[in-house]
Amino acid sequence: MPTWDSIQYLQFADQRTRPCRDLAARVNVATPGCVIDLGCGPGNSTAVLMERWPAAQITGLDSSPQMIESAQSSYPGQTWVLGDINSWNADGKEQFDVVYSNAALQWADDHAALFPRLMRAINPCGALAVQMPGHFDATAHRLMREIAAEPAWKDRFPPSGVREWHVHNLPFYYDVLSSCANHLDLWQTEYIHIMPSAQAILEWYKGTGLRPFLDALKSDDQQSEFLESYLTKLSTAYSPRADGKVLFPFRRLFIVAYAAK
């Protein structure tokens, strides 16, 4: 898994938290008793759940010790667990009214097996609620891969490539979940983030999508060189508007799957 930096991630806390709020608002479970936030990061998504369901017992789980430490520091009264989503609740003993995940499951393995397993952790009338980025082939991601494949760079990365995030399309998740959910709510939204510059887009991805590429490089100098090449390409691809601002489209997928009574 990539390494994570909560300070870098939270540079864009408002933009990252907005889809989290949009997902929580659509979950039609009025008074859940227990909720888990899978991939809670520094706790910004868990804080949204605390606002949405103030009477619920809410647990945050993340595989990054640094993220859990940040979450504990910001919200000391909550329950925080260090753990991997891929192996979480493998024995099926834990049950929740809402299993929630905001921008985390794209790093998890084998969605065809994972999503039904998460449904089995939901109490009757509860819900699995998931938001993931849905723009793997967007310009900003394509440019990372293009640079890594250039002759000057390809030998600096593993022959098999870096472990990037992955998602499928919404019909895939319908097929995976329709047999184990009572009903499904699926949608996608493209947010248009107004950024001060192309440099801001680079800073955004330094907290997420660039992590596997940077972690694979052997020195700070190589990382700096890669980021310089990336910024050059970003500056061409995301040209400023008349006021100097840059429009940064970001598509996200939303899934709410409800358990039967």
Establish if 1 belongs to a structural domain: no
Establish if 91 belongs to a structural domain: yes
Are the C-beta atoms of residues 210 and 144 closer than 8 Å to each other?
yes
Establish if 134 belongs to a structural domain: yes
Are the C-beta atoms of residues 71 and 60 closer than 8 Å to each other?
yes
CATH number of the CATH domain containing 36: 3.40.50.150
What tokens appear for 223 in the block? Answer: 């990382």
Residue numbers of the domain that contains 102? 6-258
What tokens appear for 161 in the block? Answer: 């490539």
Could you tell me where the DSSP H helices lie in 33-156? Answer: 44-52, 65-74, 111-119, 139-149
What tokens appear for 168 in the block? Answer: 């499928």
| H/E segment holding residue 81 | strand 79-82
Give the SS3 label for residue 102: strand
Number of domains in the chain: 1
pTM, to two decimals: 0.91
| pLDDT tens, per residue, the chain with 261 residues | 555 444 454 566 677 789 999 999 999 999 999 999 999 999 999 999 999 999 999 999 999 999 999 999 999 989 999 999 999 999 999 999 999 999 999 999 999 999 999 999 999 999 999 999 998 889 999 999 999 999 999 999 998 888 888 999 999 999 999 999 999 999 999 999 999 999 999 999 988 889 899 999 989 999 999 999 999 999 999 999 999 999 999 999 999 999 988
| Distance, first Cα to last Cα, the chain | 36
